[in-house]
A and B are shown apart, each in its own frame.
Chain A
Amino acid sequence: MSDNPYPAVPTAPAVRAAALYKAFGRKPLDTVARLRAGAERGSLPAEQTAAVIDATFEVKRGEIFVVMGLSGSGKSTLIRMLNGLLAPTSGTVEVAGTTITGLAPKQLRAVRRQSVSMVFQHFALLPHRTVIDNVAYGLEVQGVPLEERRARANTIIGIVGLAGWEDKLPAQLSGGMQQRVGLARALAADTDILLMDEAFSALDPLIRREMQEQLVELQAELGKTIIFITHDLNEAMFLGDRIAVMRDGRIVQIGTPEEILTDPANDYVAQFVQDVDRARVLTASSVMEPARAIVSLSAGPRAALRTMRDLQTSAAYVLGNGRTLLGVVRDRDVIRQVKNRETDLSLVVRHDLSAVDADTNLSDLVEASVESDLPLAVVDSRTRLLGVIPRVTLLAALGNVSSHTGEVPVMIDPPATIPVDVVTETLLATGGPTEPADAALEGSLR
């Protein structure tokens, strides 16, 4: 759009809301003054309603920012202030560096045409227009010629999987398909920011799941900034890069799904998140524990055996340079090496261990954990060992039981198969210093 009077400022956040208030009813400014003075929403006079109280946040470009709250928490009012459908009673909204609060209607419409489109809970399609004309509506308002907007709408219709339905009327489509049209209409407008107001709440659970997955894919592909309103915590956790939790008009916490889940700001949030499907939200990196049964390849069999003896375990992870995970050694193999006075640990390293990526969801760890007798090794993209997840830890995380209960003895996983005194005897019998090896091991790993 060459005639865009509000060129996007590349460095600005996609959306910035500063101290937003929205009051309905009589004397809204008076309501805001009362709230600023510390009044609670419940203590306001009956004819004054505060929908949004002191909302401040920034949405980064290309992120999915979810606003979550129960009905009446003010989230729908909040999202409508972000594109000027509602004017804030106090505070300012910036879209791509442009302050839209107080803009003249005409300029506000220009911002909506060029920067922000919206998807609605009940689809809000134009019932008298075909699918393709609905999808092309945003372009039509922008003044794109018929042929071009039809072509662009066709592309988007293909992307959302509605090819072949172009000439149907919305009433001929199922709910899920209608919302695909709603999504396609917003995408076709080709704005950087998408507002989605309870967009999937009216859909059946299966369709909703499908749409959520499609949205994540589309977002990864198109890099839109998405502000998503929902009352469904699982949806928020699944979609959100960051989540703002609203209660009674206030934002009570903003954070990543894991932060909200593992470190709730207050009892309300904690209570809210207790029923969430943790397996789909938490990732390996958020529940893993430091790996202790680790030996450096260069430290040799004696150090490996001693480590396993001290931890009373039958296996240890073997690390190479820069903590790269090479594999695992078993106590039986190592004790044989020690007895035979061999020094090359790499001869007995097994590579058949289960290593998982740090971003894997817990739900995808269960199977691996069942099949492996070792704790799961968590690695980063360069196969460096970040930590381990013993089965007990995984169960504790799924059941929302704190696994960090202090002095409770940490489970030994897997337990030693050779008695400790046998190992000690073997070490003594084969001679050599016993203690300095620890220092060597530590040193080589740092």
Chain B
Amino acid sequence: MIPALLPSTPPTSPVIPLGPWVEAFIEFLTETLGWFFGGLRAAFGGLYDVVDLALAAPPFWAVIAVVTLLGLYLRGWLFAAGSALGLVLIVLLGQWGNAMDTLALVLVASAIAIIVSVPLGILAARSGTASAVIKPILDFMQTMPAFVYLIPALILFRVGVVPGIVATIIFAMAPGVRMTELGIRGVDKEVVEAAHAFGSSPARILRQIQLPLAMPTILAGINQVIMLSLSMVVIAGMVGAGGLGGQVVASLNRIDVALGFEAGLSVVILAIILDRLTAALGRPRTKLFRRTPAPDAAADAPARAAEPVAA
């Protein structure tokens, strides 16, 4: 009797119009908040232009010199030499301009993601309710296929670099929030209690105790944000963000193995340099603790970046 009431096959088109509802919502956003998204587009676009100019305008050897010096300061001569070689290789492959475009996109998207995610992480660490609300949203943002973000981003921000930046921010910010929360919650409870016992205000405790002590974990989160941003550049290339991502998309369309490999290799080089530089930020550089080489191998950096972060 009951089986008779049920259809013999599951429906192939949606019975609940969830998709159309979201579509209607995006339409509603475009109509009523167009000015807001216009402003956002101008701001992100402007920011990108400034960073891109700063990277692309100077001669390539000057940029290579700066990165090499940074590597020397943060990690040592071996890494500095490796970075210089890698960057020279990008130049010789003829991908320097594209690489700088991509770097600018990654830097802008990462910076915005960090600015948003660290305060969210602090909020989540201080309030159980906030944490309970933020966690499922982060899960959603991180597991929803990244291409899906591109569709509304395209509608709201039109073709260009900005939808790429926005999709990258949404995809990449989760580890920033998670690692900030984890770091602050991991600060010794008795130390925080001691600060309370001496009459410190919560803001002072956050500034003087929780953030400094959580900093290695927060920086590890920031490192992950940057790596996830880099893993999004190819997807951003599909909506016209240009750079190395644009090259990869073009090579895919033309089945151009040579170009695809050259652009892909340039992404790998950028990824390794960025990963190792930002990872070195998280290690204390005082006389007390000697710097130790990073335990992970350089070659798996891009692969690792694409994996969801276990928080």
A124-B188, A141-B204 given as contacts; is B198 within 8 A of A169 (CB)?
no
Residues of B within 8 A of A112 (CB): 196-199
A137 to B197, CA, bound (A): 11
A171 to B191, CA, bound (A): 14
Complex: chain A residue closest to B194, CB-CB: A124
A346 to B204, CA, bound (A): 76
A85 to B197, CA, bound (A): 7
Q: Is the interface of B mostly helix, strand, loop or mixed?
A: helix
Determine how close the nearest CB of chain B comes to the CB of A127; give it in whole angstroms: 7
A124 to B209, CA, bound (A): 12
Tell me if B190 is interfacial: C-beta within 8 Å of chain A: yes
A421 to B201, CA, bound (A): 86
Q: Are A113 and B194 neighbours in the complex by a CB distance under 8 Å? A: no
A160 to B194, CA, bound (A): 20
Determine how close the nearest CB of chain B comes to the CB of A340; give it in whole angstroms: 76
Complex: chain B residue closest to A111, CB-CB: B199
Tell me if A128 is interfacial: C-beta within 8 Å of chain B: yes
Among B194, B200, B209, B213, max chain A CB count under 10 A is at B194
Determine how close the nearest CB of chain B comes to the CB of A198; give it in whole angstroms: 11
A48 to B190, CA, bound (A): 25
Tell me if A83 is interfacial: C-beta within 8 Å of chain B: yes
Determine how close the nearest CB of chain B comes to the CB of A327; give it in whole angstroms: 57
Q: Are B199 and A142 neighbours in the complex by a CB distance under 8 Å? A: yes
Residues of B within 8 A of A85 (CB): 193, 196-197
A111 to B197, CA, bound (A): 10
Residue-wise interface mask of B (89-107) relative to A, using a CB-CB cutoff of 8 A (1 in contact, 0 not): 0000000000000000000
Among B197, B200, B208, max chain A CB count under 10 A is at B197
Residue-wise interface mask of B (171-208) relative to A, using a CB-CB cutoff of 8 A (1 in contact, 0 not): 00000000000000000101101111111110010001
Complex: chain A residue closest to B201, CB-CB: A109
Q: Are B198 and A117 neighbours in the complex by a CB distance under 8 Å? A: yes
Q: Are B194 and A110 neighbours in the complex by a CB distance under 8 Å? A: no
A267 to B191, CA, bound (A): 39
Residues of B within 8 A of A109 (CB): 199-201
Partner of B194, one of A106, A120, A128: A120
Residues of B within 8 A of A126 (CB): 191, 194-195, 208-209
Q: Are A128 and B193 neighbours in the complex by a CB distance under 8 Å? A: no
Q: Are A125 and B198 neighbours in the complex by a CB distance under 8 Å? A: no
A121 to B189, CA, bound (A): 12
The A382-414 residues at the B interface (CB cut-off 8 A) are none
What is the total of A-B residue contacts with beta carbons within 8 Å? Answer: 62
Tell me if B82 is interfacial: C-beta within 8 Å of chain A: no
Residues of B within 8 A of A110 (CB): 199
A141-B204, A169-B288 given as contacts; is B191 within 8 A of A124 (CB)?
yes
Determine how close the nearest CB of chain A comes to the CB of B173; give it in whole angstroms: 27
Tell me if B76 is interfacial: C-beta within 8 Å of chain A: no
Determine how close the nearest CB of chain A comes to the CB of B144; give it in whole angstroms: 38
Tell me if A122 is interfacial: C-beta within 8 Å of chain B: yes
Q: Are A127 and B191 neighbours in the complex by a CB distance under 8 Å? A: yes
Tell me if B46 is interfacial: C-beta within 8 Å of chain A: no
A127-B213, A128-B212, A169-B288 given as contacts; is B199 within 8 A of A118 (CB)?
no
Residues of chain A at interface, number, CB under 8 A: 30
Tell me if A189 is interfacial: C-beta within 8 Å of chain B: yes
Residues of B within 8 A of A171 (CB): 288
Q: Are B197 and A117 neighbours in the complex by a CB distance under 8 Å? A: yes
Tell me if A138 is interfacial: C-beta within 8 Å of chain B: yes
A306 to B199, CA, bound (A): 72
Partner of A141, one of B188, B193, B200, B288: B200
Residues of B within 8 A of A172 (CB): 288
Complex: chain A residue closest to B200, CB-CB: A141
A126-B209, A127-B213, A128-B213 given as contacts; is B197 within 8 A of A118 (CB)?
yes
Q: Are B201 and A118 neighbours in the complex by a CB distance under 8 Å? A: no
Complex: chain B residue closest to A139, CB-CB: B198
Partner of B198, one of A113, A122, A127, A128: A113
Residues of A within 8 A of B200 (CB): 109, 141
Complex: chain A residue closest to B208, CB-CB: A126
Residues of A within 8 A of B199 (CB): 109-114, 138, 141-142
A120 to B188, CA, bound (A): 12
Complex: chain B residue closest to A108, CB-CB: B199
Q: Are A83 and B209 neighbours in the complex by a CB distance under 8 Å? A: no
Residues of B within 8 A of A106 (CB): 201
Determine how close the nearest CB of chain A comes to the CB of B217; give it in whole angstroms: 14
Determine how close the nearest CB of chain B comes to the CB of A227; give it in whole angstroms: 13
Q: Are A189 and B209 neighbours in the complex by a CB distance under 8 Å? A: no
Residue-wise interface mask of A (184-201) relative to B, using a CB-CB cutoff of 8 A (1 in contact, 0 not): 010001000001000000
Residue-wise interface mask of B (15-47) relative to A, using a CB-CB cutoff of 8 A (1 in contact, 0 not): 000000000000000000000000000000000
A120 to B192, CA, bound (A): 11
A254 to B52, CA, bound (A): 74
Determine how close the nearest CB of chain B comes to the CB of A187; give it in whole angstroms: 12
Q: Are B191 and A138 neighbours in the complex by a CB distance under 8 Å? A: no
Determine how close the nearest CB of chain A comes to the CB of B13; give it in whole angstroms: 48
Q: Are A118 and B194 neighbours in the complex by a CB distance under 8 Å? A: yes
Residues of A within 8 A of B193 (CB): 85, 120, 124
Determine how close the nearest CB of chain A comes to the CB of B208; give it in whole angstroms: 8
Give chain B's interface residues, CB within 8 Å of chain A: 188, 190-191, 193-201, 204, 208-209, 212-213, 288
- Return 16 A-B CB contacts under 8 Å, by A number: A83-B197, A106-B201, A112-B197, A114-B199, A116-B197, A118-B197, A118-B198, A120-B193, A120-B197, A125-B191, A126-B208, A127-B188, A127-B213, A138-B199, A141-B199, A172-B288
Give chain A's interface residues, CB within 8 Å of chain B: 83, 85, 106, 109-114, 116-118, 120-122, 124-128, 137-138, 141-142, 169, 171-172, 185, 189, 195
The 4 A-B residue pairs whose C-beta atoms are closest, nearest first, are A113-B199, A112-B199, A124-B194, A118-B197
Extra 13 A-B pairs, beta carbons < 8 Å, given A112-B199, A126-B191: A109-B199, A109-B201, A112-B198, A114-B199, A116-B197, A118-B194, A120-B194, A121-B190, A122-B190, A124-B191, A124-B193, A127-B213, A195-B197
